Structure 1
Amino acid sequence: MQSAAPSDPARPFLDAIRFDAAGLVPCIAQQHDTGEVLMMAWMNAEAVAETLATGRVCYFSRSRGGLWRKGETSGQRQRLVELRLDCDGDTLLALVDQTGVACHTGRRSCFYRAMRDGTLAEIAAPLADPKALYGA
């Protein structure tokens, strides 16, 4: 997919984003109806434009060096409800409708560990087997 065209309705939103030196911006995904924080991933301009155009959340995978359409392999998709930009223009908040789990560990959220009683504790069990989701 090419970058958003100048007449594209996403252009004002894209122009307001302060991408880092690598052309990336962090994006927090949050379940729109419950407020549950699901994950953090990176987006580049192409991922933002595709997300806005399709309504299906697309990220940029730094390890793979390319676009990563959430749920493409696992079926655990994110439908965009609203994309927000913070006051500094350097962080996105994607309000989503998450299908299934968001974390590659099989948990609903990537934030499944917490400091409790002086130790790092797992506070959420996997809901899905990662091997079944990703064939690993």
Structure 2
Amino acid sequence: MNGSLHSSSNVVDINLKRRPTGLGFNIIGGVDQQYVMNDNGIYVAKIKEDGAAALDGRLAEGDKILAINGVVLENHTHKLAVDLFRTAGQDVELRVQKMSPRHMNGPTDSHPGSEPSFSSLGMLAGLVGAAAIVAVIYMRHLRKNF
């Protein structure tokens, strides 16, 4: 698959029954709006509370949807994927690649023992440096007035 390594043991088939409110999740991704770098796949963006997906419990935010009712979603636009979901019928079969958070772009939950990123350390150093400069200027100003 395009730009990502997958283990077939992480692929699951999930059958959902559409509820009056839909399947109960939002998607992101596609060739026109990549969610994972170098990967045109469709991903679960949000699971809606009390929706079909939440009640089933197997689909999770960040999972990659490989196929819907046998139609492979790789290299399709986001709009085409949405249309496929909308016209999928009452009983929907999903083939899903379970993903770990480290494969996703954007912010993820903190992990114990993780190191701050370079940009966080750089920002902290900049703030400390700026405070030191302000302190030096303030001290010089005080000396001139006494």
**TM-score, length of structure 1 as denominator length:** 0.25
Structure with more of its chain in helix, by fraction: 2
Q: Which has the larger radius of gyration?
A: 2
Q: Which has the higher contact order (CA 8 A, sep 6+)?
A: 2
**TM-score, length of structure 2 as denominator length:** 0.24
